[in-house]
Structure 1
């Protein structure tokens, strides 16, 4: 959920971030993942306000602000969700862009990690009263899935409840993404993101999903994308066989 590799080089958290996310609730050294998980049992209440300060502090290191956003979002905090929405409005210029890179493609994966935090925070929204805020954040991320890397982490935003409310964003994003694949060479696997989104919509709109899948196959989205489509949309088998021949 949180970055396993913050930035491309050595990084040390500030004293504030170290105290909030690198110490467990007994004061012992811990990984941010473990601290965030433990916080779900109620500990989030004693650290949320300080993390909000980190998130708002433009003088704080970008990776520290990003970790604060992940933690708050996973805890279904309104400030975390709002930060996600704001980041999605200008993903190329968000301060923490590049604070974390995936290990396989060497591409920024900050938005994928935020997708995990938003999607997995469904277990906290009733307690925090932030269902609406989570929905806004999910829709904002779905709307930029043709512009930034999510890879399979996009799946965290494709839970049935989020697919229903994000239906318009998913369809528009898939349409734009197919157009991009037809004309651009991208450094990340946009095809698999579009395939996963298309497959998720198949449950509710099989006709649209089948049409989108055929259009996606036509622009050669890659083997990973084709595998997802074949597994999720049985009707696509004939289209795929025709393309093969």
Structure 2
């Protein structure tokens, strides 16, 4: 989970739900979210987190954490909230409530990507596999517009890539055009696009190779070029 927990002290409701383990001890939200899956503990904490997520007066950072928890648990409301956020990313209440440590840029959509990815093992139990795929496709469509950094990899499992080929192709194309325009982009868009082009190789190797060449020509940065080199086994990308 992100820097949301470092920005302010959680309120009593959120502290009880995500900062307290199932033995009543202080805990990290990441651990609580993971432990809640072991014995069905997520069921007892879902109503409280649902109330926080749906409360427009609640602290935005608390709502982000609630969304990430519910999404990690493959909850329909979590996925629906991700879909609505992806539909209007510039007007999401919790934008700016979490920042990465590398670029100090908003990474709230990266947190949502991780939550969608982490929910993979729960969707069969909860009957929400289709919602997970829909949420992943919506997030991938934003990868040319918002920061994910390496969080984008959480959306590149086999079953998501198979379902999101159209979104990947379109996002890579738009992203390369944006890079090539010379626009100042305050995060590493090149890395995100490189990871997507590597994923393309699983279903369209010629198209992926062409995209990699176009991406390299757009000066995507050293991290992106290293990804291309690692994926192809060629050091020529770094020359």
TM-score of Structure 1 vs Structure 2, range by shorter chain: over 0.9
Partner of 1:32 in structure 2? Answer: 29
Instruction: Find out whether 1:211 has 2:207 as its counterpart.
Output: no
Q: What's the RMSD between the two structures over aligned residues?
A: 1.4
Runs (4+) off by over 4 Å: none
Establish whether residue 16 from structure 1 lines up as the match of residue 13 from structure 2: yes
* TM-aligned CA deviation for residue 168 of structure 1: 0.4
- For the 8 Å contact 1:102–1:108, the answer to whether it is kept is yes
Q: 1:111-130, aligned counterparts within 5 Å?
A: 111-130=109-128
Give the length in aligned residue pairs.
237
**Matching residue within 58, 76, 79 for 2:77:** 79
Query: TM-score if structure 2 supplies the norm length?
Result: 0.95
- Structure 1 segment 106-185 matched on structure 2, within 5 A: 106-183=104-181, 184-185=183-184
Deviation at 1:237, TM superposition (A): 5.8
Scaled by the length of structure 1, the TM-score of the pair is: 0.93
Q: How does 1:45-124 map to 2 (within 5 A)?
A: 45-124=43-122
User: What runs of 5+ residues in structure 1 fail to find an aligned partner?
Assistant: none
CA deviation vs aligned residue, 1:156-186 (integer Å, no higher than 9, x gap)? 1011110000110010000000011011110
Partner-residue secondary structure (3-state), 2:90: coil
| 1:112-140 deviation per Cα after TM superposition (whole angstroms, max 9, x unaligned) | 11111101210111111110010011001
Q: 5+ residue gaps in structure 2?
A: none
Q: Distance in 2 between matches of 1:144 and 1:113?
A: 14
Question: Within 2, Cα distance between the matches of 1:20 and 1:237?
Answer: 48
